[in-house]
Amino acid sequence: MSEKPLSERQQNILEFINEYVAENGRPPTIREIGAACNISSTSVVNYNLTRLKEKGLLERDAEVSRGLRLTEKARAVYGGLWQTANDVMTNLLRIPMAGNIVAGEPIDVIEDAYDYDDAVEVSASMINGRTDDLYALRVSGDSMIDAMVNDGDIVIMRSVHEIRDGDMVAALIDDDTTTLKYIYNEGSQIRLQPANPTMEPIYVEPERVQVQGKVMMIVRQMP
Protein backbone atom coordinates (compact mmCIF):
# COMPACT_ATOMS: atom_id res chain seq x y z
CA MET A 1 0.00 0.00 0.00
CA SER A 2 1.48 3.33 -1.03
CA GLU A 3 2.09 6.00 1.59
CA LYS A 4 -0.57 8.66 1.85
CA PRO A 5 0.72 11.90 0.28
CA LEU A 6 1.30 15.02 2.34
CA SER A 7 -1.57 17.39 2.76
CA GLU A 8 -1.12 20.93 1.48
CA ARG A 9 -0.86 22.12 5.07
CA GLN A 10 1.89 19.61 5.88
CA GLN A 11 3.78 20.58 2.73
CA ASN A 12 3.53 24.24 3.73
CA ILE A 13 4.83 23.47 7.21
CA LEU A 14 7.86 21.60 5.85
CA GLU A 15 8.63 24.37 3.36
CA PHE A 16 8.38 27.02 6.08
CA ILE A 17 10.68 25.09 8.43
CA ASN A 18 13.24 24.75 5.64
CA GLU A 19 13.09 28.44 4.69
CA TYR A 20 13.12 29.63 8.30
CA VAL A 21 16.18 27.57 9.24
CA ALA A 22 18.06 28.61 6.12
CA GLU A 23 17.41 32.28 6.94
CA ASN A 24 17.71 32.30 10.74
CA GLY A 25 20.04 29.44 11.53
CA ARG A 26 17.60 27.75 13.92
CA PRO A 27 14.21 26.02 13.72
CA PRO A 28 10.99 28.01 14.22
CA THR A 29 8.70 27.82 17.24
CA ILE A 30 5.23 26.28 17.15
CA ARG A 31 3.65 29.75 17.15
CA GLU A 32 5.88 30.94 14.32
CA ILE A 33 4.85 27.94 12.24
CA GLY A 34 1.19 28.63 12.96
CA ALA A 35 1.47 32.31 12.04
CA ALA A 36 3.31 31.58 8.79
CA CYS A 37 0.96 28.78 7.72
CA ASN A 38 -2.29 30.47 8.77
CA ILE A 39 -2.99 27.98 11.55
CA SER A 40 -4.54 29.64 14.58
CA SER A 41 -4.39 26.62 16.90
CA THR A 42 -1.07 25.37 18.30
CA SER A 43 -2.70 21.95 18.78
CA VAL A 44 -3.31 21.76 15.02
CA VAL A 45 0.34 22.62 14.38
CA ASN A 46 1.38 19.93 16.86
CA TYR A 47 -0.91 17.40 15.17
CA ASN A 48 0.66 18.01 11.77
CA LEU A 49 4.20 17.93 13.17
CA THR A 50 3.36 14.54 14.70
CA ARG A 51 2.11 13.28 11.32
CA LEU A 52 5.31 14.51 9.64
CA LYS A 53 7.35 12.74 12.28
CA GLU A 54 5.39 9.53 11.69
CA LYS A 55 6.12 9.81 7.96
CA GLY A 56 9.83 9.99 8.77
CA LEU A 57 10.24 13.51 7.37
CA LEU A 58 10.83 15.30 10.65
CA GLU A 59 12.60 14.58 13.93
CA ARG A 60 11.20 16.27 16.98
CA ASP A 61 12.49 16.68 20.55
CA ALA A 62 9.53 17.84 22.62
CA GLU A 63 11.84 18.61 25.57
CA VAL A 64 13.86 21.19 23.62
CA SER A 65 12.67 24.60 22.51
CA ARG A 66 12.68 24.71 18.67
CA GLY A 67 13.56 20.99 18.73
CA LEU A 68 12.77 20.29 15.05
CA ARG A 69 15.06 18.70 12.48
CA LEU A 70 14.42 17.69 8.86
CA THR A 71 15.44 14.09 8.20
CA GLU A 72 17.54 12.45 5.50
CA LYS A 73 14.30 11.04 4.10
CA ALA A 74 12.98 14.59 3.59
CA ARG A 75 16.13 15.46 1.67
CA ALA A 76 15.94 12.27 -0.40
CA VAL A 77 12.30 12.79 -1.27
CA TYR A 78 12.45 16.50 -1.98
CA GLY A 79 16.00 16.76 -3.26
CA GLY A 80 18.17 19.85 -3.00
CA LEU A 81 15.30 21.92 -1.56
CA TRP A 82 16.22 20.69 1.91
CA GLN A 83 20.02 20.73 1.59
CA THR A 84 20.67 24.13 3.14
CA ALA A 85 18.33 23.75 6.09
CA ASN A 86 19.48 20.22 6.87
CA ASP A 87 23.13 21.27 6.89
CA VAL A 88 22.32 24.13 9.25
CA MET A 89 20.30 22.03 11.67
CA THR A 90 22.93 19.31 11.96
CA ASN A 91 25.40 21.89 13.24
CA LEU A 92 23.49 23.69 15.97
CA LEU A 93 25.11 25.14 19.09
CA ARG A 94 23.26 25.15 22.40
CA ILE A 95 24.22 28.35 24.19
CA PRO A 96 23.21 28.69 27.85
CA MET A 97 20.83 31.47 28.83
CA ALA A 98 22.40 33.52 31.63
CA GLY A 99 19.45 35.78 32.40
CA ASN A 100 18.27 39.24 31.35
CA ILE A 101 19.96 42.52 30.54
CA VAL A 102 18.41 45.94 30.28
CA ALA A 103 18.86 48.02 27.13
CA GLY A 104 17.95 51.20 28.98
CA GLU A 105 18.88 52.58 32.37
CA PRO A 106 21.10 50.27 34.43
CA ILE A 107 19.32 48.04 36.94
CA ASP A 108 20.49 45.87 39.80
CA VAL A 109 21.90 42.51 38.80
CA ILE A 110 19.74 39.69 40.17
CA GLU A 111 21.88 36.57 39.97
CA ASP A 112 19.17 34.33 41.46
CA ALA A 113 16.96 35.06 38.44
CA TYR A 114 19.39 33.37 36.04
CA ASP A 115 18.42 29.98 34.64
CA TYR A 116 21.55 28.18 33.49
CA ASP A 117 19.56 25.06 32.49
CA ASP A 118 17.86 27.01 29.68
CA ALA A 119 19.55 27.42 26.31
CA VAL A 120 19.15 28.99 22.87
CA GLU A 121 20.12 27.16 19.69
CA VAL A 122 22.00 28.86 16.82
CA SER A 123 23.95 27.62 13.82
CA ALA A 124 27.66 27.13 14.51
CA SER A 125 28.40 28.66 11.11
CA MET A 126 27.04 32.00 12.33
CA ILE A 127 29.60 32.31 15.16
CA ASN A 128 33.25 33.12 14.50
CA GLY A 129 35.96 31.75 16.75
CA ARG A 130 35.67 29.63 19.87
CA THR A 131 32.27 28.73 21.27
CA ASP A 132 33.01 27.54 24.81
CA ASP A 133 32.90 31.09 26.20
CA LEU A 134 29.49 32.07 24.81
CA TYR A 135 26.33 32.80 26.77
CA ALA A 136 22.96 34.38 25.98
CA LEU A 137 20.99 37.23 27.53
CA ARG A 138 17.41 38.28 26.93
CA VAL A 139 17.08 42.02 26.30
CA SER A 140 14.61 44.26 28.14
CA GLY A 141 14.07 47.84 27.02
CA ASP A 142 14.51 49.84 23.82
CA SER A 143 17.67 51.89 24.19
CA MET A 144 19.40 49.88 21.41
CA ILE A 145 16.56 49.86 18.87
CA ASP A 146 18.59 51.70 16.21
CA ALA A 147 21.09 48.84 16.45
CA MET A 148 18.19 46.46 15.65
CA VAL A 149 18.06 45.16 19.22
CA ASN A 150 14.45 45.13 20.34
CA ASP A 151 12.76 44.37 23.62
CA GLY A 152 12.59 40.59 24.01
CA ASP A 153 15.44 39.81 21.59
CA ILE A 154 18.31 37.58 22.68
CA VAL A 155 21.96 38.63 22.40
CA ILE A 156 24.73 36.05 22.16
CA MET A 157 27.65 37.26 24.26
CA ARG A 158 31.32 36.33 24.42
CA SER A 159 33.31 36.81 27.60
CA VAL A 160 36.14 39.17 26.66
CA HIS A 161 38.87 41.15 28.37
CA GLU A 162 39.80 43.44 25.48
CA ILE A 163 37.31 45.61 23.62
CA ARG A 164 37.33 48.36 21.00
CA ASP A 165 35.49 51.65 20.87
CA GLY A 166 32.06 51.07 19.40
CA ASP A 167 31.67 47.48 20.60
CA MET A 168 28.26 46.60 22.00
CA VAL A 169 28.83 45.24 25.47
CA ALA A 170 27.24 44.20 28.72
CA ALA A 171 28.70 46.71 31.17
CA LEU A 172 28.68 46.19 34.93
CA ILE A 173 28.72 49.49 36.82
CA ASP A 174 29.82 49.76 40.47
CA ASP A 175 29.62 45.96 40.81
CA ASP A 176 25.83 45.99 41.13
CA THR A 177 24.13 47.39 38.02
CA THR A 178 24.29 46.24 34.41
CA THR A 179 23.33 47.66 31.03
CA LEU A 180 23.66 46.91 27.30
CA LYS A 181 25.34 49.77 25.40
CA TYR A 182 28.03 50.76 22.90
CA ILE A 183 31.23 51.53 24.79
CA TYR A 184 33.77 54.31 24.18
CA ASN A 185 36.92 55.03 26.17
CA GLU A 186 37.32 58.81 26.40
CA GLY A 187 40.30 58.82 28.71
CA SER A 188 39.05 60.20 32.00
CA GLN A 189 35.65 58.65 31.52
CA ILE A 190 33.81 55.81 29.80
CA ARG A 191 30.84 56.66 27.60
CA LEU A 192 28.09 54.06 27.43
CA GLN A 193 26.13 55.09 24.37
CA PRO A 194 22.55 54.01 23.63
CA ALA A 195 21.35 53.49 20.06
CA ASN A 196 18.20 55.52 20.58
CA PRO A 197 18.13 59.26 19.80
CA THR A 198 15.70 59.94 22.64
CA MET A 199 18.15 58.67 25.30
CA GLU A 200 21.28 60.22 26.76
CA PRO A 201 24.64 58.44 27.14
CA ILE A 202 25.92 57.33 30.53
CA TYR A 203 29.31 58.67 31.66
CA VAL A 204 31.30 56.88 34.37
CA GLU A 205 34.92 56.72 35.56
CA PRO A 206 36.88 53.79 34.05
CA GLU A 207 37.44 52.11 37.40
CA ARG A 208 33.68 51.87 37.93
CA VAL A 209 33.02 49.85 34.76
CA GLN A 210 33.63 46.17 34.12
CA VAL A 211 32.86 44.69 30.72
CA GLN A 212 31.15 41.33 31.20
CA GLY A 213 30.85 40.42 27.54
CA LYS A 214 30.68 41.57 23.93
CA VAL A 215 27.67 41.04 21.67
CA MET A 216 28.49 38.55 18.91
CA MET A 217 25.02 37.93 17.48
CA ILE A 218 21.42 39.06 17.86
CA VAL A 219 18.63 36.48 17.84
CA ARG A 220 15.41 38.21 16.86
CA GLN A 221 12.17 37.17 18.49
CA MET A 222 9.10 37.01 16.29
CA PRO A 223 6.08 38.95 17.59
Known catalytic residue at 181: yes
Q: Active-site residue among 143, 159, 188, 214?
A: 143
Which residues, at least 6 apart from 190, have a Cβ–Cβ distance to it below 8 Å?
Answer: 171, 183, 184, 203, 204, 205, 206, 208, 209
DSSP, collapsed to helix, strand or coil, labels residue 114 as coil
Spatial contact of 41 and 21, defined as CB atoms under 8 Å apart: no
DSSP, collapsed to helix, strand or coil, labels residue 111 as helix
CA dihedral 114, 117, 122, 127 (to 10 degrees): 70
Task: Identify which of 209, 145, 138 has the alpha carbon closest to the alpha carbon of residue 178.
Answer: 209
Can you tell me the distance from the alpha carbon of 181 to that of 168, in angstroms, rounded to the nearest whole number? 5
Can you tell me the distance from the alpha carbon of 15 to that of 223, in angstroms, rounded to the nearest whole number? 21
Give the DSSP letter of residue 141: S
CA dihedral 89, 94, 100, 104 (to 10 degrees): -50
Q: Active-site residue among 55, 123, 181, 214?
A: 181
Enumerate the β-bridge partners of residue 218.
155
Can you tell me the distance from the alpha carbon of 98 to that of 136, in angstroms, rounded to the nearest whole number? 6
Write out the catalytic residue numbers. Answer: 143, 181
